[in-house]
Amino acid sequence: MNRTIGIDYGRARVGVAVSDPLGIFASPMETVPSAKIIEYLQKYALSETIERFVVGYPLNLNGAPAQAAADVDVFLKKLAKAFPDVPIVLEDERFTSVLAHRAMIDGGMKKSDRRDKNSVDKISAAIILQSYMDKKK
């Protein structure tokens, strides 16, 4: 089954989300240390066909790349080298952390659990991926 992978890249951690086989719903999957993300994705690709990557791209309010975009650019080069046949789409990631926190509150998650940055990262990845899929419809 083909899957689209959503990625919220950060210097320390990477949130990963995956689409359902029909490309309708995004689900948070994992938070992986940044140094191990390529290895993690390669292992995942052994059992599932990755159709495309949707990577959150940090922009300022004026639409210009944010300071963190330089880190994402380095990651994008590594990702393209590791998966030369898989398209990479960039998706605006402004406000995804705020939306992730709101989703955790609305979902009834305890305050102590909401402080876990791993949860925020993978939920942010799901929001990035869902945003892309909703626009694609």
What is the rounded CA–CA span in Å between residue 34 and residue 56?
Answer: 14
Rounded to a whole number, what is the distance in angstroms from the first to the last CA of the chain? 19
What tokens appear for 92 in the block?
């605006």
pLDDT at 98 over 70: no
pLDDT for 99 equals 59
Q: What is the pLDDT of residues 20-73, one digit of tens each?
A: 999 999 999 999 999 999 999 999 999 999 999 999 998 888 878 788 889 999
Angle (CA) 27-33-36 rounded to 5° is 100
Nearest of 137, 112, 109 to residue 123 by alpha carbon? 109
pLDDT at 102 over 90: no
Domain 2-136 falls in which CATH fold? Nucleotidyltransferase; domain 5 (3.30.420)
Residues with Cβ within 8 Å of 19's Cβ and at least 6 positions away in sequence, in order, are 3, 4, 5, 6, 25, 26, 27, 129, 133
pLDDT for 126 equals 93
Q: Where are the domains of the chain?
A: 2-136
pTM over 0.75: yes
For the chain, give the percent of residues with pLDDT over 70: 81
